[in-house]
Structure 1
Amino acid sequence: MKLPVLIQAIFLLALLPPAGCAPPSSEPEKGGEPAKVAPSKTVPAPEKTEPANPPAEPVPAEKPEKEPKPAISSAIESLTGSLGYNLDGQEEGDPKAELEKGLSLQKKGHYTRALEVLGGAVEMKAPNALRAEVLLELAETYFRRGKDAREESLEPGEVVEDPGSNLETSAVLFREVVNRYKGELDFSSQAAYMTGSCYLLLGDHRRGLAAYKSAFENFPRTSKYRSKALERAGICNAGIGDHVQAKAFFNKYLRDFGNDPKYSSTAKKIRTRYLNELGLVGRPAPPLNATRWLKGVVDGGLESLRGEVIVLTFFSTWCNHCKSELPQMRRDVEKWSDKGVVFIGIANPSDPKGTSPVEIYVETNKVPFLDVALDEGGRSWRPYRVSGLPAAVVIDQKGIVRWRGHYTFMGHTLLETLLAE
């Protein structure tokens, strides 16, 4: 055999599998059965044995004798964290004495000190009724401080840079009185009502309406704040431009409380003022009977302002409420004038109760109106259904009256709506 042939034969033999082996394959041979796997033997599990000293059965926890305190809302948790209040009431002390001390300071307008005293009292152990009262008065102090700051009538030494933040804080604390102490009706019903009052002063009629509706719907008829909440709900509805609902709330007040002598004063105000004012809404604004314009800017009357949103305010030099609203008017003018809202005033220079000439009053008190119409004899009062001051009217870009009411209740909701139209 030649050498090359021998080498090839050896090479081929090396490639063949050893005897008794088959090539690896995942498929069975054609016509054959798949290989059977021998079953594995099962190893019996070891028997369980009890320990020599078994542990004692767990004793179920005893139920607390008292109901757990309601959870603190996220808003109050954030607020109390920033202000340093702890509403769990675990501190020792005499909360009743501190409450009386805080109320005395509050009535004197010493709000900063009152907040310190009441803030300490709110952290003391006390029955729920007393705890609710302390928290309510803490909220009330923030409310009064915000309101007085809004009117620039704070006592000397009291400094508030942002009246709105005090009113917002007050609203959160009032809501917490409702959430934590709803069963203490004397305090929780008042707190629900006051929450709406905070938002009304902030000019937020929608949140005010929600709070007043809650105060009316969630508390019994015996609550003295229920009727007040119903009245204010009507005011808020008018403020957002829903005059149908406003009338519905006012009429419901008359049905529910109108025949009760205790509510006769408010019922009369609703009949002769609120419903009468709403009758002007939706109609063209009556012309102003201006003898002259104080600054000469609006000589053409309301017609010259067509295309602008107009806030027309009736005032008088003897009106204390008119004067107390001036700081807020200045803020309103600063906020809205550049956005397309024109603020004008109207006064009767021959008002027999006038305390000074209108010109001097406007200059001395820095009345912020673009111009002031001088209406001899007050001939514009009746067409605009003015029965109390300061009376305000919102007129849209087409010259239609869209709101009529007390200036205090003119919020930003309607102005935003009109500017967006």
Structure 2
Amino acid sequence: MPNHFPEAPALQVSRWLNTDTALTLESLRGRVVVMHAFQMLCPACVTHGLPQAKKTRQLFAEKDVAVIGLHTVFEHHDVMTPAALEAFVREYRYVFPIGIDTPAQGSIPATMREYQLQGTPSVVLIDRQGRIRLSRFGVIDDMALGAAIGQLAAEDAPTTLVTRPSAEAEAAGPEGCDDDGCRAGGA
């Protein structure tokens, strides 16, 4: 059966945060890539997209799933500078690699244009062979995204789900309850 999934275009990133080496899709080949395109002044990005990327990084093993952010600025250029982004990333404690999309002529940055993204937040899933399997503009449900990632990761290799209690759950103590659940006493 012929392959009907398009090859993911190269990332056109002018600078990377949270990594010592520039990432390429070739360097991530063999893993499912979850790319969250965002702007730091986009309300849905701040309340949903970026927290979702952070959770995805925590739940899936890095050997199976690579999570990257793409700061793709198409408005408010004068305030969304690399220095402002660095402070934003530090304040929100995002540790996954974040690329700054290369500005292009006009208002749409280079990678955003190549991927034909409609806006932010956007999620792009790239399979282990480097093909785009999902490109979605807007908020995507956590369960739906997790299922899609799991399906892609299971296509060619087993995925390890990393389960860690949240910091809030650990801080609540053995008998405390919080939004993550209630711990049984003495367990």
TM-score over 0.5 for the alignment?
yes
Equivalent position to 2:100, from 374, 383, 398: 374
Between the aligned partners of 2:88 and 2:74, the Cα distance in structure 1 is 14
The alpha-carbon distance between structure 1 residues 380 and 355, as it changes in their structure 2 partners (threshold 3 A), is closer
Percent of aligned pairs sharing the same letter: 29
Q: CA deviation at 1:310?
A: 0.3
Mapping of 1:19-418 within 5 angstroms? 282-325=5-48, 326-338=50-62, 340-348=64-72, 352-353=76-77, 354-355=79-80, 357-369=84-96, 371-377=97-103, 378-406=109-137, 408-409=139-140, 411-418=145-152
- Root-mean-square deviation (CA), in Å? 2.3
Q: CA deviation at 1:339?
A: 6.1
Counterpart contact for 2:70–2:101, Cα < 8 Å: yes
Unaligned runs of 5+ in 1: 1-280
Between the aligned partners of 1:397 and 1:418, the Cα distance in structure 2 is 8
Greater strand proportion:
2
Q: CA deviation at 1:300?
A: 4.0
- Write out per-residue CA displacement over residues 2-27 of structure 1, whole angstroms, 9 at most, x where no aligned residue: xxxxxxxxxxxxxxxxxxxxxxxxxx
- Write out per-residue CA displacement over residues 178-205 of structure 1, whole angstroms, 9 at most, x where no aligned residue: xxxxxxxxxxxxxxxxxxxxxxxxxxxx
TM-score (norm 2): 0.66
Between the aligned partners of 1:307 and 1:395, the Cα distance in structure 2 is 10
Between the aligned partners of 2:61 and 2:21, the Cα distance in structure 1 is 15
Between the aligned partners of 1:404 and 1:336, the Cα distance in structure 2 is 20
Counterpart contact for 1:314–1:346, Cα < 8 Å: yes
Between the aligned partners of 1:375 and 1:328, the Cα distance in structure 2 is 20
SS, match of residue 414 in structure 1: helix
Between the aligned partners of 1:405 and 1:361, the Cα distance in structure 2 is 24
**Larger relative contact order (Cα-Cα within 8 Å, sequence gap ≥ 6):** 2
1:181 aligned residue: none
Between the aligned partners of 2:37 and 2:72, the Cα distance in structure 1 is 9
Between the aligned partners of 1:414 and 1:348, the Cα distance in structure 2 is 23
Q: What letter is aligned with 2:76?
A: P
Equivalent position to 1:420, from 154, 175, 183: 154
Q: What letter is aligned with 1:295?
A: N
Q: CA deviation at 1:368?
A: 4.2
TM-score (norm 1): 0.31
Between the aligned partners of 1:297 and 1:311, the Cα distance in structure 2 is 19
Larger radius of gyration: 1
Q: CA deviation at 1:350?
A: 8.4
Between the aligned partners of 2:12 and 2:24, the Cα distance in structure 1 is 9
Q: CA deviation at 1:284?
A: 0.3
Counterpart contact for 2:31–2:63, Cα < 8 Å: no
Between the aligned partners of 2:101 and 2:12, the Cα distance in structure 1 is 6
Q: What letter is aligned with 2:28?
A: L
The alpha-carbon distance between structure 1 residues 385 and 298, as it changes in their structure 2 partners (threshold 3 A), is farther
1:101 aligned residue: none
Q: What letter is aligned with 1:321?
A: A
Q: CA deviation at 1:352?
A: 3.0
Counterpart contact for 2:117–2:137, Cα < 8 Å: no
SS, match of residue 10 in structure 2: coil
The alpha-carbon distance between structure 1 residues 351 and 393, as it changes in their structure 2 partners (threshold 3 A), is same
- Write out per-residue CA displacement over residues 69-114 of structure 1, whole angstroms, 9 at most, x where no aligned residue: xxxxxxxxxxxxxxxxxxxxxxxxxxxxxxxxxxxxxxxxxxxxxx
Greater helix proportion:
1
Runs of 4+ in 1 over 6 A off after TM superposition: none
The alpha-carbon distance between structure 1 residues 339 and 296, as it changes in their structure 2 partners (threshold 3 A), is closer
Q: CA deviation at 1:376?
A: 2.9
1:61 aligned residue: none
Aligned residue pairs, count: 140
Q: CA deviation at 1:359?
A: 1.1
Q: CA deviation at 1:397?
A: 0.5
The alpha-carbon distance between structure 1 residues 292 and 327, as it changes in their structure 2 partners (threshold 3 A), is closer
Q: CA deviation at 1:291?
A: 1.1
Unaligned runs of 5+ in 2: 104-108, 156-187
